[in-house]
Amino acid sequence: MPGKSAADRILAAIRAVPRGEVAGYGEIARRAGLPGRARMVARLLSGNDDPKLPWHRILRSDGRIAFPEDHPNFSEQQQRLRAEGVDVRNGRVKGLKAAATLDEILWAPPGR
């Protein structure tokens, strides 16, 4: 993504997460060509005002929702994920592998 700003690359990586799948902040940073910049992803999402951005698909690396349980976005994120068929229990995604990285797609054994 040469020529694009870091923010544009992060937003493109977020938009690329398919419906029903999730990715961690760090994974989004890596996909955007910004390894180690998970906090930049979180900051960008905290200021998001694009209603079409699938922000709800982005989680902590351990599969947990980053908002505190009493925050309105905690419930909204759970509801949006469940509407896409994601199993969310107590603020954590269960039984769903994060979206594949480019390396996994390119180097995974045949049939996976």
Q: List, for residues 61-99, the tens digit of each pLDDT value.
A: 889 999 999 999 999 999 999 999 999 999 999 875 555
Asked, for residue 100, whether it belongs to a domain, the answer is yes
Find the domain containing 79 and state its range: 6-107
Q: pTM higher than 0.85, yes or no?
A: no
Asked, for residue 83, whether it belongs to a domain, the answer is yes
Asked, for residue 1, whether it belongs to a domain, the answer is no
Asked, for residue 79, whether it belongs to a domain, the answer is yes
Q: Specify burial of residue 87 (Cβ count, 10 A radius: 0-12, 13-18, 19+).
A: exposed
Asked, for residue 85, whether it belongs to a domain, the answer is yes
Q: How many domains does the chain have?
A: 1
Angle, vertex CA 106, rays to CA 108 and CA 83, nearest 5? 80
Length of the chain: 112
Q: Check which CATH number belongs to the domain holding 34 and give it.
A: 1.10.10.10
Rounded CA separation 63/89 (Å): 10
